[in-house]
Chain A
Amino acid sequence: MPDSGNSSWDRRSALRAALGLAAAGGLAACGGNNGRGGGGSGSGTSLVQYFHAYGEAGTEQAIKRYAKAYEDANVSTQWITGSNFESKLFASLLTDKAPDVFEFHPQIQLVKSGQVADLTELIDPVKDDFNPADIQSHTVDGKIYGVRMIDDPQFFFYRKSLFDKAGVGIPRTLDELVAAAAELTTDKVKGIYLGNTLHSIVNPLIWASGAETLDENNEIAYHTDGVVGGFRTLRTLFTSGDLLLDAPTDFWDPSALNQGLTAIQWCGMWAMPQMQQALGDDLGIFPFPKVTDAGRQTVYNGGWSMFVNAKGKNVEAAKEYVKWLWIDRKEYQEDWALSYGFHIPPRTSLAESADKLKSGLPAEGVRLFNEFGHFDNIGWTQAMITALEDVLANCVRKGGDPEAELGKADGKVNRELDKLFG
C-alpha cells in the first residue's frame, strides 16, 4: 500500500465510521494478504482455520498441504505461536474476521454461548471407530461438538543412565518420586522438572490422589484429604532444591532433558522423537505415581480438537471441510499424528494399524495411555482450571495452606458451576 494514500484516506473513512457505516469490502485488503485466496477466483467459498504453532518441524507445511488438497473451498491457515494463541483466537471470534474452523480443547462454555457448532451428524456414522473417551469428552446433552484430531498423553520421561548411576528405581508413590529427585540431584543436574509454572501436573495430582475434578453431578470432587496431602508433598519438593526451576524452556519442550539440566521431566508424547534422537536408548517413561494408597498411577490424556465456529459465515462449508479432513481422509490423519511428533490417533482403526506405535518406547507410551490415562472433563472450564492453578501457585510456590486455598477455589468453582448448570 502506498503511504501517500494514507492521509487523505484516514479522514474519509474515519467519517464513514462515525456515521456507523462499515467500510466497503474492497478497501479491506491492501496490506498484502497472500494467505487468503477467495475474492474473484472461481472456486467459491473461502474458509479460514486457526492452529496453534506445533513445535515439530514440518507440521505447518503439512496442515497447509492438506488444506490445499481440499477442492470444495479455499482454505487458508493461520499458524499462531503458542502463548498468543488464546488471545488471538478469542479476540478474532468476536469479529467478522473470525476463523470458520479452529482447534481448541472441549470446554462447555463454548457450547453454552453458542460459539461452536453441533457436529453430531458428522461423527455419528464413525462413532464406533473413535476412542469412546474422546467422544464422551466432547459431548453435551447427547450432542457432539468437536472432532478430536490427536490424543497427547503426558507422563514422566527419565534418563536411564542417571537412574542407574544414582541407584534409584522407578518411583511408585509421590514420596518415592521426591526421594528419587533428591538422589538424582548433583551440582550440575537437577533431579526433576515439572515445567516453570508446574501447572501441567494439577490434574494428574488430583487423579493420582484418587479424586476427580468434578463428579458425575458436576459437583466439586477435587477437595479431598489426599489432594491436600499431595500439595503438601509438592511443597517439600519445591523447597528441596531438587526441582529444576526457571528453565529457559517450558515442560512441553524436550530441551531441559536433552540438555542435561534434569534427570526426570514431565512432558508429552509429542516430544518423544526429539528425545530419542538426542538421547538414544538412554530414555524411559513412567506415569505420575500414586499420591496416597487409595490413589492410582496417572497419565494425562491431553490433545487437540477441531471446532466449527457456529457464528461464522460458512458454517455448512466449514462442517464439510472438517468432515473431509478429520473423518474421511485417514491418510492425512495418520500423517498428522505420526509423521512429525508422536500423537495417538483417536480413531481406533488408525491407532491399531500404526506401525510406529507398535514397538519400543512409543508402544510403552500407548500402553500407559490406555492403562492409566485420564481425559478432560468438558464441564471443567477455563475459570475452574485457573482457580486450581492458583491453588498450586499459592500453596506450592508461595507456601500457603492447601486446605484454605482449596476452600477459596471452591468459591470460584461453585460460582462458575452455578452459571453453567444453574
Chain B
Amino acid sequence: MPTTTTRQVSAPARSRRGLRARSTLAFWLFTGPFLIGLLIFVYVPILWSAWLSFFEARFTVTPSDFVGFENYRTMLTDEDFMGSLVTFTVFAVIIVPTTWALSLALALAVNRLRFMRAFFRSVFFLPTAVSYVAASLIWKMSIFNGVRFGLANTVLGWFGADGTAWLASPDPPWYWLVIVTVRLWLQAGFYMILFLAALQNIPPELYEAAAIDGARPGWQTFRYITLPQLRATSTAVILLLLVAAYQAFDEFFNLLSKTTWGRPPLVELYYKALGENQDYGAGSAGALILTLLICLVTLLQGRIMGFGRAEGSK
C-alpha cells in the first residue's frame, strides 16, 4: 500500500483530464475493497435469492423447476404472510414512538444533571451491551415467566393480584408488553446517546437569546428551540428505529415460541421457508416482496421528512 502513496505524491498532474483520471483511480482505490466485498457477500446472495424466487426450490438452493411468478402469487395470497405485515405495523406504531420519547427524555434528563451525569449515562447505556439472546432469556425465565418465581408475578402478588401467563395467550395481548419492554431496555440507551450528542451541538447562544426575549425555560424553550434543533437527529432516529423494527427477529423468535400471532415478517418467513419447511422459492419471494416494501416506505419517509436528500440539494 505505501507504494501507492509515493506514486501519487511524486507525480503531480497538471491537466484537468489527468486530475480527473487520478481522482477516478483514487475513488476506486478507496472504495474498491468495500465494493468487491459487498458484491460477493451481499449482492451475489441477493441475486441468488431473486433467482430462487422463480423456482420450486424445496430442500435445495440449486433448483431446476421454473415456476414463474407462482411463488409470488402464493405469498401475496397467504393470509399469514399478509398478517405478518399487520403485526409489523402494530409493532412499529408502538415501538418507534415509545423508544423515541424515552430516549429523548433520558437524554434531556442526563443533559441537565450536574452531578453523577457519567453514572446515569452509563446506567442507561449499559443494556446496549446485552445481546437479544441474553435479554430474551432474562425476560422469559426470570421476569415474565408464568410461575411463582417470576419477578412480575411476584410483584403483582404483593398487591394481591393473581399470577398472569404473560406469553401463553394472545388475549389479553400481554405479550406485547414483554416484547416492547425488552426492546426498549436494549435500545433506548443507544438512541439516548444520539440525542445527547445532538443536544451538545445546540449553540448555547440560542438559549441566551431566548431568555432575553422572555422565553421561560422548560416547556417553551423545549418547544421552540430544543425540539426544532433536534429535528435532523429525530428524523435519523425514527428512520433507524423503523428499519430496526422491520428487521425484528430475535426477541419474537425467542419469546413467542410457535404462536400463530405476533409474528413479524422475518419470523413468518423463517417458519414458512427457512426452518423445517425448507421452501426457499416461496421464502425468497416473500423476502423480496418485503425488500421492495421497505424501499418504498423509506423513500416515502425520505420525501416527507427530507432525510438523505439534504446533502444532495446543497
- Chain A interface (Cβ < 8 Å from any Cβ of B): 10-11, 14-15, 17-18, 86-87, 90, 93-94, 109-110, 113, 115, 188, 196-197, 199, 238, 241, 244-248, 261, 382-383, 386, 389-390, 393-394, 397-399
> Which label, helix, strand, loop or mixed, suits the secondary structure of the B interface?
loop
A196, B257: Cβ atoms closer than 8 Å: yes
10 intermolecular pairs with C-beta atoms under 8 Å apart: A90-B278, A110-B59, A238-B169, A245-B146, A245-B167, A393-B260, A394-B260, A397-B169, A398-B171, A398-B261
B179 CB to closest chain A CB, in angstroms? 14
Report yes or no: B33 in contact with A386, Cβ–Cβ below 8 A: no
Contact assessment for B260 and A94 in the assembled complex, using a CB-CB cutoff below 8 Å = no
Q: Is the CB of A386 within 8 A of B40?
A: no
Q: Which residue of A lies closest to B62 (CB)?
A: A94
Residues of B with C-beta under 8 A to A87? 274-275
Tell me whether A397 and B140 are in contact (CB under 8 A).
Answer: no
How many pairs, one residue from A and one from B, have CB atoms within 8 Å of each other in the complex? 88
B165: min CB distance to chain A, Å: 3
Chain A: CB-nearest residue to B175 = A246
Q: A261: which of B148, B274, B278 is its contact (CB, 8 Å)?
A: B148
Say whether, besides A245-B146, A248-B145, A115 and B168 are in contact (CB < 8 Å): no
Question: Whole-angstrom distance between the alpha carbons of A110 and B257 in the complex?
Answer: 25
Q: Which residues of chain A have C-beta atoms less than 8 A from B141's C-beta?
A: 248
The answer to whether residues A197 and B258 also contact, given A188-B148, A398-B171 and a CB cut-off of 8 A, is: yes
Least CB distance, B32 to chain A, in whole angstroms: 9
* B259 is an interface residue with CB less than 8 A from chain A: yes
The complex places the Cα of A17 from the Cα of B274 at a distance, in Å, of: 25
Cβ–Cβ < 8 Å partners of A18 in chain B: 36, 39-40
Asked if B168 contacts A397 (CB within 8 A), the reply is yes
Instruction: Give bound CA distance, A241 to B163, whole Å.
Output: 10
| A17 vs B37: C-alpha distance when bound (angstroms) | 11
* CB contact between A246 and one of B165, B170, B271 (< 8 Å): that residue: B165
On whether the beta carbons of B169 and A245 are closer than 8 Å, the reply is yes
B61 touches A (CB below 8 Å): yes
**How far does the alpha carbon of A209 sit from the alpha carbon of B294 in the complex, in Å?**
47
Q: How far is the CA of A17 from the CA of B41 in the complex (A)?
A: 10
Q: How far is the CB of A248 from chain B (nearest CB, A)?
A: 5
Taking a contact as CB atoms closer than 8 A, the residue among B33, B60, B162, B277 that contacts A94 in the complex is B60
Report the separation of the CA atoms of residues A241 and B146 in the bound assembly, to the nearest whole angstrom: 11
By the criterion CB–CB under 8 Å, are A247 and B146 in contact? yes
B166 within 8 A of A: yes
Complex CA distance for A87 and B146, rounded to whole angstroms = 28
Cβ-defined contact, A14 with B36, below 8 A: yes
Give the top 5 A-B pairs by smallest Cβ distance, nearest first: A246-B146, A245-B165, A245-B168, A113-B59, A393-B260
